[in-house]
Amino acid sequence: MLAVIGKVEKELSPECKEFLYMGTPPRGLEHHSVQFICQYYNKKPRYVTLYNTVDHIPIYSAYIFKRSEGEKCMDVPWMYEPQLSTSSETDEMQPFPRSYVHMNFEDAQAVLDDYTNAILYERGTLNPDEHQNEPDDKAATYTLTNVVPVVPEVNNLIWDKQEHMIRKRLNNYCRGTAHIVTGVTTSGKMIRRENMNRIAVPTYLWSAYCCVDYDHNTPFMNRYKFPSFAYYGLNEDENNDMVEVSVQKLEEFLKKTEFVSQNFQIFVGDCSIQAPEKTA
């Protein structure tokens, strides 16, 4: 079995900045307990995650959309990231043991047992395998550092439906590279295990894409959703749908939740063709 390699980085390397529009991560999410993870699989970078080592969930995963038919990747073991706890261990993300044993990295990240008795929630991936095409890219999404707890109805019906819709839209109308950032907000609710707060439960799920090279003959019902668009929704049973909005409207909404700072911006230059190059 090929090992997944995850580099925990304070400053992203050039090879991992490629997953961010213009090489620039979203701003306004700075916090002492977050770390970048450059997610590698089979010696290649696959996507980037901003991970909260206190809440034990990713704040967002940023990736490049790959045109696909949406097939699921099957029989891939869930992985964990040894580097989140100590620099002395391997930098290769490892499959979880078949039976539970206490592992010294649990203070910094979620483990499978955190989800075992969390019957109200399922593991929801921020970078979904259906937005990838190559088997290695799909396999690299099966790590708990890319997972948040999601209400089953939302995960299997509402969120899944939205991922399908975005895949088809980008398949059909994005001619160049599409950058996607998918993240969460939290409000203090936690999943507990053995009388300890273990995993933060997202209040909102959100996602935004940026594709500056798109088909300008796209029918209007989709034309106005380029070069960028976004959506968000509550992580609750009674949630009926995701709300599709402009990226700017999503940013305004997230600022009201106070989860992000007032300078929050997902894509530098708001995903415009004239966006300025980042300076040193």
Q: Looking at the chain, which runs of residues are DSSP E strands?
A: 4-9, 34-41, 44-52, 57-64, 79-80, 92-95, 122-125, 147-150, 179-193, 196-210, 228-234, 243-245
Mean pLDDT on 79-92: 63
Kindly give the pairing relationship between strand 147-150 and strand 122-125: antiparallel
Model confidence pLDDT, tens digit, residues 228-239: 999 999 999 887
Q: How confident is the model at residue 240 (pLDDT cuts 50, 70, 90)?
A: confident
- Give the pLDDT of residue 169: 98
- Give the pLDDT of residue 279: 45
Beta bridge partners of 210: 179, 228
Model confidence pLDDT, tens digit, residues 169-227: 999 999 999 999 999 999 999 999 888 999 999 999 999 999 999 999 999 999 999 99
CA–CA distance, 257 with 117 (Å, rounded to integer) = 29
Inform me whether the pLDDT recorded for 5 exceeds 50.
no
Q: Is the alpha carbon torsion for 261, 266, 268, 273 positive or negative? A: negative
- Give the pLDDT of residue 280: 40
Nearest to 222 by CA among 204, 194, 250, 244: 244
Model confidence pLDDT, tens digit, residues 131-169: 999 999 999 999 999 999 999 999 999 999 999 999 999
**Could you tell me if 213 and 176 are in contact, meaning their C-beta atoms sit under 8 angstroms apart?**
yes
- Give the pLDDT of residue 199: 95
pTM beyond 0.85: the answer is: yes
